[in-house]
Each structure stands twice: as structure tokens, then as C-alpha cells.
Amino acid sequence: MLIGAIEAGGTKFVCGVGTEDGRILERTRIPTGRPEETVGRVLEFFRDKSVKAIGIGSFGPIDVNPSSPQYGHITTTPKPGWSGYPLLAAIRDALGVPAGWDTDVNAAALGEAKWGAARGLDSCVYFTIGTGVGIGVYAEKRLLHGLVHPEGGHIPVRRHPEDGFAGVCPYHGDCLEGMASGPALEKRWGKPGAELPTGHPAWAIEAHYIAQAVMTAILMLSPHKVILGGGVMHQTQLFPAVREAVKRGLNGYVRAPEILERIDEYIVPPGLGDDAGLCGALALGLEALERTS
Ligand code: ADP
Ligand code: ZN
């Protein structure tokens, strides 16, 4: 049985076809243009694939409340044409199969819980530190929603004492995303993160902000695993620095051996690597199919 998966991003849509065990058999990448054109190309990819269901993990903010008239829409975005666009319906109606829908980061959290670093656990949080910063929350074996959905990328952070950078968030300036996203790194240091050497002072500052977000997630949600993904986390030296800062910051208060003794296995990269979002979308498709049968 084949399931379709779409990781709908602001820069690119990654579409894939996979099986119930989370294996992606075929994929394609479509640059994000205007909605009709982009969706046209997505549908073209799935046309001859005979998928039984489709899952979409989308950039946002999006409406994930099934009883809302705007369910399945992208709500507000500066991306031309996408504000208010009914992405879920456009795809579900054209393909005529059950469709699952959630944020890209919630999808990634689900993918990791099903097949990745949090496999077999009841909860995890997934952070993406990329063009934006986002958090997906899997709690008590399901994805967390609420009034809208978690927006942990925009939590306030305590400034690093050596950091005079104003921040890049158009809403808050120096929130987590404003201080720690890929574009924040690039603006603060004058070149993209990928070009900054491992020993650069940028990384201690970056770890300081990420660690605060991780501590907040631990204190608020008590996850069984914290997964850090996204382009910036390709800088693997950040992991030991974040773990160290989290341990120091919590200062023994949360008395779990996972944190006190095994933090290397607690704050980890995605087990599915850069496929967390796509596999998560596949899992959303599977869930949609299970709900209908
Ligand atoms: P997106 O968030 O757009 O889905 P990514 O997760 O790949 O995509 O994040 C892209 C951001 O991550 C860019 O701002 C880029 O500069 C940054 N980035 C990508 N690779 C690296 C790297 N190796 N080191 C540091 N920053 C990186
Ligand atoms: Zn913000």
C-alpha cells in the first residue's frame, strides 16, 4: 500500500510516496511559487501514484482545528498568494483520498515518534532551527494543538551578555527565532552559518539561545525526548554545547536520569535526519487512513 507525503515549506515542497513502515520509495522537490502553480506540480507528481491517503506537514501558521471554517488553510504569511489559501482542500479534493494535515514541525515530531529518535516513547518535542524556528509537540501519544498550535519559535529569550544583536523577527525582534534562526546568524555575523568555522564565538551564543528553548520545553511539557533538527543543527558541535547549557541551567531541578545521567541520549538530532518532516507527513497520511477505516 502506498501513502503520499508532502512537506510543504516556504522555500520548497518535498513530495514523496512511501509505505506503512515509513520507507520513502520516491520523492521530488518543487520550489514554492504561487499556490496554484505549486499545487499543480504537486498533483502532477501524485497523478499516477495511486496513493491510498495523503499527509501534509505545512509551513504556517495554519488552521488545524477541524471544526473551523478555515480548517486546512494557511492563515497568514508574507508569501505572495498563500495567505488564506486552502491547501488541504486543494490537494485532498483533487486526489480524492483521506488526508492528514498538521504543521511541518508537528509532522516531524510524529515521524520521529513513529520511526525515529523517539520511537516507542509517549512524548517528544521537535525543534527546527532553520530559516525559521518552530516546535512540534507530541504528548500522551498525540500531536498537541490548542487555540491554534504551539509557536515555540517565538518565545522570549534571555539575551547572551556578549550579544548586542537586535534580532530579525518582524514581530518581536529578539525572540528565539529573531536571535537563533539561520537568517539571524547570517545577519549578526555577515555570512551564512555554514561558512562560520566550528570555533567561532557564534556557536556559544547560538547554543545559549537554543538551550533556553530546550529548558522551556522540558519545564513546560516534560517530554521523553528532545529532538533538534533544521539546517542550523547540521553544526553538530551545537549538541554538546546545548546539553551542557541545559544541564547547567536546570541545575539539577528536574530529577530525571535522562537529564542527570544520559543527556547525550535525551537531546538528540532527528533519527530520520532531514527526512523527519517527510516521514511525519507520511505518518499523518496513515493516521488519516486509519480514521476513515
Ligand atoms: P528551511 O528552514 O527553509 O526549511 P533548513 O532547515 O535547511 O530549511 O534551514 C535553512 C537555514 O539553515 C538557512 O538560514 C541556512 O543558512 C541555515 N543552514 C543550513 N545549513 C547550515 C549549516 N551547515 N550550518 C549552519 N547553518 C546552516
Ligand atoms: Zn518572533
User: How much of the chain exceeds pLDDT 90, in percent?
Assistant: 98
| Residue with CA at minimum distance from ligand 1 atom 20 | 231
153 lines ligand 1 (CB under 6 A): no
CA 55 to centroid of ligand 1, rounded, Å? 24
CA 289 to centroid of ligand 2, rounded, Å? 35
Q: Which atom in ligand 1 lies closest to the alpha carbon of residue 129?
A: 6
Q: Which atom in ligand 1 lies closest to the alpha carbon of residue 234?
A: 23
Express each pLDDT in 205-220 by its tens digit: 999 999 999 999 999 9
11 lines ligand 1 (CB under 6 A): yes
Question: Which of 7, 131, 168 best tests ligand 1's pocket when mutated (most atoms within 8 Å of CB)?
Answer: 131
What Cα–Cα distance (Å) separates residue 127 from each residue in 118, 119, 134, 143, 266?
13, 16, 6, 14, 13
| Residue with CA at minimum distance from ligand 1 atom 11 | 130
Q: What is the value of pTM for the model shown?
A: 0.97
187 lines ligand 1 (CB under 6 A): no
198 lines ligand 1 (CB under 6 A): no
Q: What is the pLDDT of residue 268?
A: 99
Q: What's the chain's average pLDDT?
A: 97
Q: Please return the burial class of 26, using the count of CB atoms within 10 Å of its CB with bins 0-12, 13-18 and 19+.
A: exposed
Q: What is the pLDDT of residue 282?
A: 98
- Please identify, in words, the CATH class of the domain defined by 3-103: alpha beta
Q: How many CB atoms lie within 10 A of CB 63?
A: 20
CA 127 to centroid of ligand 1, rounded, Å? 13
pLDDT bracket for residue 11 (50, 70, 90): very high
152 lines ligand 1 (CB under 6 A): no
168 lines ligand 1 (CB under 6 A): no
192 lines ligand 1 (CB under 6 A): yes
193 lines ligand 1 (CB under 6 A): yes
Statement: residue 78 has pLDDT above 90: no
CA 162 to centroid of ligand 1, rounded, Å? 24
Express each pLDDT in 95-154 by its tens digit: 999 999 999 999 999 999 999 999 999 999 999 999 999 999 999 999 999 999 999 999
Express each pLDDT in 44-55 by its tens digit: 999 999 999 999
Where in the chain do CATH 3.30.420.40 domains reside? 3-103, 117-269
Express each pLDDT in 225-240 by its tens digit: 999 999 999 999 999 9
All cell numbers assigned to 46 = 501524485
The topology (CATH level 3) of 117-269 is Nucleotidyltransferase; domain 5 (3.30.420)
